[in-house]
């Protein structure tokens, strides 16, 4: 079980994969659409999507020759929120320590 948790966290430890997850949170999309929106080459997007699918975060539905990806495990965004909140607190503490004032204003609400 621990190995599966580590595998999932490792899959998320990539900026482009986080960007893909955040985009897919808005709704399903194909590789070409994601590549254009994220600004990556299609082969790179396909590779990242494959990694996220392998660890159970994404579903893939075939529509003719197209592969349409969607979020399979919505709880991933709870983890993202927890991590983002921690980063926000850390940055604020760093700014406070340097006497720089407010660094980040949290705009999110938890769902």
Residue-by-residue pLDDT tens, the chain, 111 positions: 899 989 999 999 999 999 999 999 999 999 999 999 999 999 999 999 999 999 999 999 999 999 999 999 999 988 878 888 888 888 888 888 888 766 665 554 444
Residues 65, 82: one domain? no
Same domain, 36 and 9: yes
Task: Specify the pLDDT at position 103.
Answer: 64
pLDDT at 111: 44
Q: Is the distance from CB of 50 to CB of 17 less than 8 angstroms?
A: no
Domain check: are 20 and 62 in the same one?
yes
What is the CA angle 29-65-74, rounded to 5? 30
Query: Same domain, yes or no, for 19 and 59?
Result: yes
Give the chain's domain count: 2
* H, E, C per residue of 27-92: CCEEHHHHHHHHCCCHHHHHHHHHHHHHCCCEEEEEECCEEEEEECCCCHHHHHHHHHHHHHHHHH
What is the value of pTM for the model shown?
A: 0.78
Looking at residue 92, its pLDDT comes to 87
18 and 46 share a domain? Answer: yes
Range of the domain at 95: 75-111
One domain, residues 30 and 64:
yes
The answer to whether the CB of 72 falls within 8 A of the CB of 57 is yes
Do residues 49 and 89 both lie within one domain? no
């Amino acid at each position: 079980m621990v190995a599966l948790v580590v595998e999932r966290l490792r899959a998320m430890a990539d900026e482009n994969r986080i960007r893909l997850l955040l985009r897919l949170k808005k709704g399903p999309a194909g590789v070409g659409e994601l590549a254009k929106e994220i600004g990556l080459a299609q082969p790179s997007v396909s590779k990242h999507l494959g990694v996220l699918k392998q660890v159970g975060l994404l579903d893939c539905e075939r529509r003719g020759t197209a592969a349409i990806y969607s979020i399979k495990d919505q709880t991933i965004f709870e983890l993202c929120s927890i991590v983002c909140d921690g980063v926000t607190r850390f940055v604020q503490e760093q700014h406070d320590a340097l006497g720089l004032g407010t660094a980040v204003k949290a705009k999110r609400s938890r769902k």
